[in-house]
């Protein structure tokens, strides 16, 4: 079977036929007879949105000829309010002629929400599908439609979004049997504190509180404190002081921690 390139004119014709008939790709495939074995809705969507650059000629002819045989759908909205040139909701842009904004009824909004629920589509994915819309449908605009913040919409944008949703298949149902089981590990008894050296002491909440208080009062951090210190004991480092402050270690050399505390207490307030 021969492959043919998909031109912009071919994609435009396919889009025109979908708009003319009001039949989305998913509906077309559901109702089609004698579908080619190598033809799937996702393949047709790739043709439509330009992610595939070529197609099997036999499959393309089957799809486009099938659409051409379908009747033209009646207008989606026949009771839209008449809009005059002085209407305050007239808008214009360099890329399109002036067009009126129509009110979004509760029925329209309900249908929009139900289509999102049916397909499982996110607003982000819908915005990407509708990226070719001249009104520049964004996630924010779609959210305002869904939530009811926005009461009006351009007819071409509303129709584009609803057609995109109608072309999407139903979301896969989630299994109700799968439940997340969380197994809590058995609680371990709290071991008594035993310093690993005789000259180590436990860093009590009071010691930790004094350390944090004086570092905040003076505005002096661990690294700066070592620069200030004269004759600092061996083994004292900025990382060690930070671990005391954060509670990462439970014990400390008594000489080192009291050297730091006494040095901090001797320093003036940072605002003095």
Contacts 24+ apart (CB under 8 A), 47-55: 47/6, 47/10, 47/11, 47/14, 48/11, 48/14, 48/15, 48/18, 49/129, 50/6, 50/11, 52/6, 53/5, 53/6, 54/3, 54/4, 54/5, 54/6, 55/3, 55/4, 55/6
pLDDT of 135 reads 64
Q: Which whole number is the average pLDDT over 29-47?
A: 89
Q: Which whole number is the average pLDDT over 89-118?
A: 71
CA distances (Å), origin 229, targets 223, 260, 271? 10, 9, 20
**Lowest-pLDDT range, 63-67, 86-90, 123-127, 146-150?**
86-90
Average pLDDT, the chain: 79
| Ranges of each domain in the chain | 3-68, 91-166, 200-266
Contacts 24+ apart (CB under 8 A), 54-62: 54/3, 54/4, 54/5, 54/6, 55/3, 55/4, 55/6, 56/1, 56/2, 56/3, 56/4, 57/1, 57/2, 57/3, 57/4, 58/1, 60/4, 60/6, 60/10, 62/35, 62/36
- For the chain, strand residue ranges (E) read 3-5, 54-56, 91-93, 96-99, 102-103, 152-153, 200-202, 251-253
DSSP letter assigned to residue 191: P
CA distances (Å), origin 86, targets 14, 95, 98, 157? 36, 21, 12, 22
Q: Which whole number is the average pLDDT over 252-266?
A: 87
């Amino acid at each position: 079977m021969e492959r043919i390139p998909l031109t912009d004119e071919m994609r435009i014709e396919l889009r025109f036929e979908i708009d003319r008939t009001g039949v989305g790709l998913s509906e077309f495939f559901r109702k089609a007879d004698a579908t080619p074995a190598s033809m799937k809705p996702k393949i047709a969507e790739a043709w439509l949105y330009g992610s595939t650059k070529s197609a099997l000629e036999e499959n393309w002819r089957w799809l486009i000829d099938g659409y051409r045989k379908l009747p033209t759908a009646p207008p989606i909205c026949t009771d839209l309010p008449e809009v005059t040139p002085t209407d305050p909701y007239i808008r214009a842009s360099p890329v399109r002629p002036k067009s009126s904004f129509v009110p979004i009824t509760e029925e329209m909004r309900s249908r929009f929400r139900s289509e999102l629920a049916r397909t499982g589509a996110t607003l982000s994915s819908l915005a990407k599908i509708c990226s070719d819309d001249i009104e520049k449908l964004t996630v924010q605009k779609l959210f305002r439609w869904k939530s009811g913040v926005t009461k009006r919409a351009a007819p071409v944008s509303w129709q584009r979004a609803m057609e995109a949703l109608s072309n999407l298949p139903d979301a896969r149902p989630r299994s109700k049997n799968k439940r997340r089981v969380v197994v809590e590990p058995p609680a371990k008894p709290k071991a008594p504190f035993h310093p690993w050296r005789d000259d180590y002491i436990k860093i009590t909440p009071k010691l930790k509180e004094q350390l944090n208080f004086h570092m905040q009062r003076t505005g002096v951090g661990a690294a700066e404190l070592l620069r200030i210190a004269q004759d600092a004991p061996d083994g004292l480092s900025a990382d060690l002081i930070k671990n005391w402050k954060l509670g990462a270690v439970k014990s400390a050399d008594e000489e080192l921690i009291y050297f730091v505390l006494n040095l901090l207490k001797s320093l003036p307030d940072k605002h003095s």
